[in-house]
Structure 1
Amino acid sequence: MIPRVLLSTLLISATQLLVGQNASEIVRKADEMMRGEKSSYSEMTMRIVRPKWERSLSFKSWSKGTELSLVYITSPAREKGQAFLKINREMWSWNPTINRTVKLPPSMLSQGWMGSDFTNDDLLNQRSIVVDYNHTISGEEQIDGWDCWRITLTPKPDAPVVWGKMILWVTKKHYLILKSEYYDEEQLLVKTEMAHSIKDVDGRTIPTIYELIPAEEPGNRTIVELNAIKFNIDINDSFFSLRNLTQVK
């Protein structure tokens, strides 16, 4: 007969393992819901709002799996042609004005992308939330009437990530991330992202507007609207190359 104390310990360990596996599976499904299980192509408009000004830019984005992504700026005219590439853990930017490709060092991952509240890491490092963090279900809440899991993400040892902790609210139906909180290494809230305007697009139900709000900068926010998206398109790995970074349209 197994001693009661040992049995309780085994049951607790098994439960914790099961919850951990479920949390990771939820995050993976939520990530694939917006990226596609294999690949995706999207067209978006970003509006950067500040207390005394605002501006907009549009861009195209291609991704394949969690290791390959490419972003191309389509407007405004003064920034059109700039492009960004990620291959595995390496990232580059291309600026046609100066005819130069620059490899982005890890120190630039936390910098604002195109002057927005999104970082280079947010836009390009698509593998991060699935691969670089441990996942734990830390509660259940409703967001805008949707029943959600609250999942806490903590970085794995030596993971090359920007955030000290993330908290995601993922809907139990459709696996949509409706709210994300980003914390620094001191566990202070840096910014909150909210998803809105849920619609049926290309065969799946997804949010089409994202709003990012910094915690310490009143009046600042960045809104991204999804204008078009296609999931699981045919795209060769060779598309994601330094050569194509300078030629993509």
Structure 2
Amino acid sequence: MTDVVLPCLNEAPALAWLLKRMPAGYRPVVADNGSTDGSVDVARSFGARVVIVPQPGYGAAVHAGIVAADPADGVVCVMDADGSFDPAELPLVADPIRAGAAHLVVGRRRPVGRGVWPPHARLGNAVLAHRLRHTTGLPVHDIGPMRAAYRNDLIALQLQDRRFGYPLELLIRAARAGWTVTEVDVTYLRRTVGTKSKVTGSVRGTARAIRDMSVVLAR
């Protein structure tokens, strides 16, 4: 059984659809970061494991979920909980890990429909990805909100960022550790009605994420 960490902050409208589409062999771990909209109740009603994460921040939620994942299987996936990714595509990132083809697989977003990925967010991601390729040589074009790796390997990297810089720090440390990092295309959907991205949903959110990631790059 492969655990799927879903960092969550007020994603109740999306969770029902997302959890219904979780493929066989994949078990959701909802890392709740202080939701006030009933997200925890929705997650539990679908049988998902819920991990309460008092420390605020995307990285804090992801890290807590990974630590809580069952080490018996080994592979762990991470995916946003806002309905922008289809859980049916999780094998795209998990299967290459199981096959030994990569240490880390990152989903490259391919938006479906107009307005799915706002220009300010796409530009910010492109700039960061370009700097990452130049700095590390990793062949990636997305900072990867959907990804998979072995749980123990992720913990061994000792990532420190607990904010939006977490995904970038993961890629940088993976490169320094000599990991093979592979990128695969994944569908990027319009978010469920009633949810709003903490990053791409506003220019301010994107600027905050870029600031956090820039701090990581500056290290």
TM-score range, shorter chain: under 0.3
Higher CA-based Rg:
1
> TM-score, normalization: structure 1?
0.25
Structure with the bigger percentage of helix? 2
TM-score by length of 2: 0.27
